[in-house]
Amino acid sequence: MAIDGTTKLYGIIGHPVGHSMSPAMHNAAFAATGINGVYVAMDVEDAGGAVAALQKLGFVGVSVTVPHKEAVMAHVDEIDPVARRIGAVNTLFFYRRPDGGQVVRGFNTDWQGANLALAEKIRLAGSRVLVLGAGGAARAVGFGLVEAGARVVISNRTEARGKALAGSLGCRFAGPDRLHEVEADVLVNTTSVGMEPHADDLPVDPGLLPRFSLVMDIVYAPLETRLLREAAAVGCEVIDGLAMLQYQGAVQFKIWTGVRPPVDVMRRALLEQLVAR
């Protein structure tokens, strides 16, 4: 689709942001749905300055990635109640009120991305899930699971951070040395362990993997992490890191456009981008 004077502007802000695959995913979605839009990656260090500039430039929607997901909250006019509870924003929607006033509203779609990916394989309500990590991704994943009625246990190498997250979510904490005592059906890795260039690393003792029926890794470079490879070898179902990325992006697309997202097209674009790299 040709870019012209009526093309609507979208993008992603972060630092760094050159590795992001969101432009390929969203631009493919615009093309598939016939929307005259373009999505670009923008490396910015000043979240507040970026929001103000994007609003003046007429952007419609923007994704927010590290390190700005928390800092950007101070620079939006409205925050979705769920995003406020999670304490992070990964989606901005710029719109005008009926009186003509401009508004920037912040959302968090990470939790929905994780829930939608997991819900393809399991019934979330009543499931028992061990979440590895205590960063922003763990907070979003844990929140979504608790909201869906899952019984969640948080584990993290830094005990203080892990206990703080578990406390805020109202769930249990288990240190890495106590994981053999955790009864769970699902394992979700939200850490960067196993990401290139350290693809041989594992976030958990492989001897524990037979305890789980489903293993999900949010790392997508490589797409088949060592964790997923070893989990599949002992009979676990697995979910790769593109699943959460595509679904959180699909929710963003719906927020920005009101159009049903072409999820299959978005995943295909992500896979093509991985191959190209």
- Give the whole-angstrom CA distance, residue 189 versus residue 217: 5
Which candidate, 85, 92, 87, 139, places its Cα nearest to that of 114?
A: 139
Please identify every residue annotated as catalytic. 69
Which residues on neighbouring strands pair with residue 276, listed in sequence order? none
Strands 186-189 and 128-132: parallel
C-alpha distances in Å from residue 48, one per residue of 21, 87, 91, 168: 23, 17, 14, 27
